[in-house]
Amino acid sequence: MTAALVQQHNGHVRYSRSTRSLRHVTGGISNEPVKSRGAAAPQTPLPPALAGTESMTVFLLGLAVLLGASRAADTVVPAQLGPPPLGFSSSVRSVCKPMPSTLSLCHGIGYRHMRVPNLLGHDSLREAQQQSVAWLPLVSKLCHRDTKKFLCSLFAPVCLPELSGPVSPCRSLCEAVRDGCVPVMSAFGFPWPEMFNCTRFPRGTELCIPATGEQEGRTAEEVKHEEALKGSVICDACSLAAEGETDIQENFCHSPYAFKMRLGSVSTVGGDRQLVPTARSRILRYRYYFVLFYRAILVRIWKDCVTGLSREERAYQYVLTTATPGDPDSILDAFDVWCNKVEFISNIGPKKGKILDRMLMEQGPLTVLELGAHCGYSTVRIARALPLGARLYSVEMDQRNAAIAEKIVRLAGFDDDTVELIVNPSDEVIPRLRSDYGLDRLDFVFMDHWKKSYCPDLQMLEGSGLLGKGSMIVADNVLFPGAPKFLRHIRKSGLYEWKIHRATLEYSKGIRDGMAELVYQGIK
């Protein structure tokens, strides 16, 4: 971008405080001064990150709280060289700074220096990074190809030496992203945020960041492929790419169901392949899953009705009457007997538990985060393997389960100095670990909560700056029930050395499962 793109703006410009989001800022700049009135930048945290369709509701609820916190504040100031800062007033002089590696939202954006304060009023790199983390899942929604460009133009505005302030996004860019993402948000009953009101952005006749052209940045082959697929969305599981013999064998071993079928016909409908099986098709590998369904679902429903207690409360009563207080090994053994012989509970279990024990012994972590305490089994298992002076922060969102976990942990002999139980959803706790709990680094993270939360929670941890080189993350049940988005992320991110420890599902036979072991390397 050259000085030819810059023009002097005379007179005065009215502007006010506001907030913003991100995506890619390549694709050119056009000219126009900004004359806008906007809402004040909220000081509340941005909404919790969403990783899949399931977590969009949580994201939008947080967004509603965020919108309710905005306020107006208009100021009149002299115009500067280039476009004035959009929608915020700050006593901090605008400066160029290297974009931090922890600003995951703008990785690969195409430039390395950004303006601080940014267009949302964040006065420091740390504040911009922390607030941007929550918008990572919106980019992953792929509701528009310029979502990242739009958000990055606000959170991390490009630094041009010819200008004394940040460059705002064009109104056309805002409107294109808005039109693409509004249907996704509207499905959950929420409108486009007022803080992204497109009328406050320049129309495109003056300096601003425009939308990507229809065919810009894509090869002729990509355009042709997209045209062929119009009207048809093909999911990853349906793609025939890389379907070699090894892939077929792995899919057979890791999937809960497998079908053996003789095809009657194969046709193409709207770009999709339609397979019609014959009557001789049959289902394979279902016996172990029926046993699991019986033990985990049917028995639980029946005993809930008969006893009036939850499954976790029944397990606690058994442990209380059979285990030795103050002996973690005795408590874990009692849990294993209950889960093997009486009722199924999805603890990590003894087989995978030994793998976890070994990793803890080798790592010797001083600060550990557990996501998903459930009824306290893994909490006790982790706490007994920690070195002297280490501290475990265990997160559980269900209050009843957290109460049982608290009793189990204290029964095992661990006090508040060793184990601190946090009762809240993980996506609310992670952003507050630094401010509320004084953590600067996490040495070890164990994930065994909702599998759909693995990916967004990992992304939040990456953006929080709490993961340092060598930090270890262990995630259970990545093959069954499975966490495909989590596995896809660690493969593509390049941030980890990782491997899968293959095993069977806890307290079950014949159901393949595994634990993911990740060692954080940072951005290379």
Which residues carry out catalysis? Answer: 448, 451, 476-477, 506
User: Are the C-beta atoms of 39 and 111 separated by less than 8 Å?
Assistant: no
Q: Is 446 helix (H, G, I), strand (E, B) or coil?
A: strand
Residue 207 phi, psi (nearest 5): -60, 115
Across 39-121, where does the E strand assignment appear?
74-78, 95-98, 113-116
Alpha carbon distance 81, 118 (integer Å): 17
User: The tokens of 229 are what?
Assistant: 């697929």
Cis peptide bond N-terminal to 33, omega within 30: no
The one-letter amino acid at 96: C
Task: Pick the closest to residue 410 from 443, 440, 373 (CA basis).
Answer: 373
Separation of first and last alpha carbons in the chain: 27
User: Are the C-beta atoms of 454 and 423 separated by less than 8 Å?
Assistant: no
User: Are the C-beta atoms of 458 and 369 separated by less than 8 Å?
Assistant: no
Alpha carbon distance 274, 522 (integer Å): 43
416: CB partners within 8 A, 6+ apart? none
Q: At what angle do helices 125-132 and 147-155 cross, to 10 degrees?
A: 150
Tally of helices (H runs) and strands (E runs) in the chain: 18, 17
User: The tokens of 237 are what?
Assistant: 């599981």
The one-letter amino acid at 409: V
Q: What distance lies between CA 264 and its chain's CA centroid?
A: 42
Q: Characterize 79-110 residue by residue with b for buried, 16 or more Cβ atoms within 10 angstroms of its Cβ, and e for exposed.
A: beebbbbbbbbeeeebeeeebbebbbbbbebe
